[in-house]
Amino acid sequence: MPKSRYDLESGHFDLVSVRRLPIDDELRALTRQFRKWVPNERDCARQAMSMDEFYTLIHFAKRSAVLALNGGASEACEDGLGALAMIDESRIDTRDAAWAAGLLSYSVEKTSKNANQLFEGAIQISTTGVAKILSRASGRANLSDWGYAEIRTTRGVGLIRSAWGHYEPTVELERIALSVADWLDRQRYVATVEIAVDVPEIWFQQAFRQAARSVVDIARAVVSVQGSLRAGYIDDPSSQMFVLWLAELPSEKKSEELVNYSGCQLSGRFAVGFSLSRLFGLLVAGSVVDGVAPCESDESLHSLAEAIRSQIEDAWAKFEPK
């Protein structure tokens, strides 16, 4: 296995935009060697790998699915499936391998004329457990089954995380959210976007949660931007949460209503609401671990909310309505 690893803070785990990296080339060469080995050699290779290395292979498989959509076609899919074939499923959460297989199934069906042959080739060199995972994923080409949707940006075709909520925006809501994420990436957070989500009512003032729920329920669409604190700011970045929900409401009046319902504080976590025309934003951040101080304060969050609102305004002006 390569000594290098994919780096969260460098954006290597972002499937919206995937650019081939040196580690991709190294793993591609390794998977092609693996396919030529005899069964005993494959077993020895699996035994020599760590759990972290298995997860490197899983992420390579996901990246391969996106690279296939951008011109890599069947070769990239074969490389991704070959990476999954290298895994010992007893040392991972098998759901992670299944999701990667599902994304590859989508890419295979969309880019290759020999989908069954590609999956069968990987199944033949897999463990019994991984073979079952691949068999179940083969032919399941509906991205929503795997929690993703296809997106096209100026950087090419990508895959964006997607929940199962109502999603019929009249503005380029996902592209606005990606613009905010790009801005956050230049700050102290690494940001990811998910579409078709819901706004949890717990982040509204308790007396107005039912009223807020009735407004959120008529939103045309909701996206979230989740931020992971970069290393170096505090000892345990995982103790912090940072989420922006951005909803398109039917009217500016409804957006302003939700702002009036905002302002809840829960044990070291703060919530700030803001509006821009019919868009409503709810920014929540703070500590999720008892005894650990929040990185953000109510004051810093208000400043961030204003900066994000400005970013949204600039992004909205760039994109034509749907």
- In this prediction, residue 74 has a pLDDT band, given cuts at 50, 70 and 90, of confident
Rounded to an integer, what distance in angstroms lies between the CA atom of residue 268 and that of residue 211?
Answer: 25
Residues recorded for the chain: 322
**SS3 state at 13:** coil
pLDDT digits (tens, 9 = 90+) for 234-250: 888 889 999 999 999 99
Q: Measure CA of the first residue to CA of the last residue in the chain; give whole Å.
A: 45
User: How many helices (DSSP H) and strands (DSSP E) are in the chain?
Assistant: 11, 8
Q: Tell the burial category of 84 from Cβ atoms under 10 Å away from its Cβ (0-12, 13-18, 19+).
A: buried
Going by C-beta distance under 8 Å and a sequence separation of 6 or more, which residues neighbour residue 41?
A: none
Domain ranges of the chain: 8-146, 163-318
Taking each helix axis from N to C terminus, what angle separates 115-124 and 94-111, rounded to the nearest 10 degrees? 150
Q: Under CATH, which architecture does the 163-318 domain have?
A: 3-Layer(aba) Sandwich (3.40)
**73 against 206, higher pLDDT:** 206
Instruction: Find out whether 182 and 154 touch, Cβ atoms under 8 Å.
Output: no
pTM of the model: 0.92
Is pLDDT at 106 greater than 90 in this prediction?
yes
Render 141-188 in DSSP notation, one character per residue: --GGGGTEEEEEETTEEEEEEE-SS----SS-HHHHHHHHHHHHHTTT
| For the ranges 19-28, 71-80, 291-300, the one whose mean pLDDT is highest | 19-28
In this prediction, residues 306-320 reach a mean pLDDT of 88
In this prediction, residues 77-87 reach a mean pLDDT of 97
Q: How far is CA 318 from CA 58, 110, 179, 231, 244, in A?
A: 36, 30, 10, 32, 21
Going by C-beta distance under 8 Å and a sequence separation of 6 or more, which residues neighbour residue 89?
A: 97, 127, 129, 130, 133
Residue 154 CB coordination number (10 Å): 6
Nearest to 14, CA basis, from 146, 124, 148: 148
Quick one: what percent of the chain has pLDDT higher than 90? 84
Rounded to an integer, what distance in angstroms lies between the CA atom of residue 11 and that of residue 227?
Answer: 12
Hey, what are 85's tokens? Answer: 């074939």
Quick one: what percent of the chain has pLDDT higher than 70? 99
Hey, what are 181's tokens? Answer: 């994420």
Is pLDDT at 140 greater than 80 in this prediction?
no
Is pLDDT at 322 greater than 60 in this prediction?
no
Is pLDDT at 115 greater than 90 in this prediction?
no
In this prediction, residues 56-83 reach a mean pLDDT of 93
Rounded to an integer, what distance in angstroms lies between the CA atom of residue 179 and that of residue 158?
Answer: 15
